Chains A and B, each alone.
Chain A
Amino acid sequence: MADYEERRSLLGEEDEGSFAGRQPPRGAGKQMPAICDPSHLLHRVVVLVFMCFLGFGSYFCYDNPAALQTQVLQDLNLNTAKFMQLYAWYSWPNVVLCFFGGFLLDRVFGIRLGTIIFSLFVCVGQVIFATGALLNRFWLMEVGRFVFGIGGESLAVAQNTYAVNWFKGKELNLVFGLQLSMARLGSTVNMNIMGWVYSQVALMVGSTGYTALGGSLMIAGVTCLFSLICALVLGFLDKRAERILNKEQGNTGEVIKLTDVKDFPFTLWLIFIICVGYYVAIFPFIGLGQVFFIEKFNFSPAEARAVNSIVYIISAPASPILGFMVDKTGRNVVWVIVAVVATLAAHMMLAFTFWNPWIAMSLLGVSYSLLACALWPMVAFVVPEHQLGTAYGFMQSIQNLGLALIAIAAGSILDNRGYLVLEVFFCACICIALMAVVMLYFVDYLKGGDLNRSAAARAKLQKESTSDAEIKRRPSKPTEGELARLAPMSAFGLRNRYLSRLGAQLPDHCSTHLSSLAYRSVLK
Chain B
Amino acid sequence: MAAAALDKRSGGVCVFLLSFVLILCQTLVHGAEPYKRQLSVQLYPNYNSTPPGGDLLHVRAVGDNDTLHFLFCSQGAPTLLIVHTNTSSSTMKVWPQVNWPEFWARNTSGSLTVEPQSSVLYSSAIVLSRVRNASSRPLLEYDDVNDTAEPTSGFFPPYELKDFHWLPLSLRSPTALLCGADPAFGNGSLCLELSVFDSEGRVQTLPRLLHSANSSQLDVWLDGILPRSSNSRFLLELQSVGGAYPLSRVDIRQSIDDEFTPSIFKVSQWVSSVNGSSDVLGFVQWKPVAYRHTQPVLEDATPCRHSDPQAQSGEAAAASSGLIRAFYSNPEVMGLNMSFGLAGEPFYNSSRFLSWTVLVGVGSPPVDSFSPMVITIMAVGLGTPMVLLLLGGVCVCLHKKRAATAATYEPIN
Contacts and interface: CB of A to CB of B under 8 A. Distances in A.
Do A and B come from the same complex? yes
Interface of A: 73-74, 77-80, 199, 202-203, 207-208, 266, 291, 295-296, 351-354, 414-421, 424-425, 427-428, 430-432, 434-435, 438-439, 441-443, 445-446
A420 B396 contact: no
A435 B14 CA distance: 11
Contacts of A424: 374, 377-378
Contacts of B395: 442, 446
A78 B299 contact: yes
A480 to B, nearest CB: 19
B396 A442 contact: yes
Contacts of A414: 262-263, 298
Given A77-B299, A79-B299, A431-B385, 11 more contacts: A202-B140, A203-B140, A208-B140, A351-B256, A353-B256, A415-B297, A416-B298, A417-B262, A420-B257, A439-B7, A442-B3
Contact of A417 (B7, B259, B297, B382): B259
Nearest to B138: A207
Contacts of A80: 298-299
B384 interface: yes
B6 A442 contact: yes
Return the 7 tightest CB-CB contacts between A and B, nearest first: A431-B381, A418-B262, A418-B258, A442-B392, A443-B3, A434-B385, A295-B263
A78 B299 CA distance: 7
Contact of B385 (A419, A425, A435, A445): A435
Mostly, the A contact residues are: helix
B259 A420 contact: yes
Interface residues of B, number: 40
B299 A296 contact: no
Of A79, A425, A446, the most chain B CB neighbours within 10 A belong to: A446
A418 B260 contact: yes
A430 B254 CA distance: 27
Contacts of A421: 259, 373-374
A240 B176 CA distance: 82
Of A199, A430, A432, A443, the most chain B CB neighbours within 10 A belong to: A443
B378 A207 contact: no
B256 A438 contact: no
Interface string B369-380: 010011001101
B314 interface: no
11 contacts: A73-B299, A199-B142, A208-B139, A419-B258, A420-B256, A420-B374, A421-B259, A427-B378, A431-B380, A439-B6, A443-B3
B399 interface: yes
Contacts of B373: 421
A73 B299 CA distance: 8
B359 to A, nearest CB: 19
A82 B261 CA distance: 19
Given A431-B384, A435-B384, A354 B254 contact: yes
A207 B385 contact: no
Contacts of A416: 262, 298
Nearest to B263: A295
Contact of A438 (B140, B261, B385, B399): B385
Nearest to B298: A415
B388 interface: yes
B389 A438 contact: yes
A431 B396 contact: no
Contacts of A425: 377
Contact of B382 (A77, A79, A431, A439): A431
B392 A418 contact: no
A208 B139 CA distance: 8
B314 to A, nearest CB: 37
A351 B7 CA distance: 30
A367 to B, nearest CB: 16
A438 B386 CA distance: 9
A62 to B, nearest CB: 24
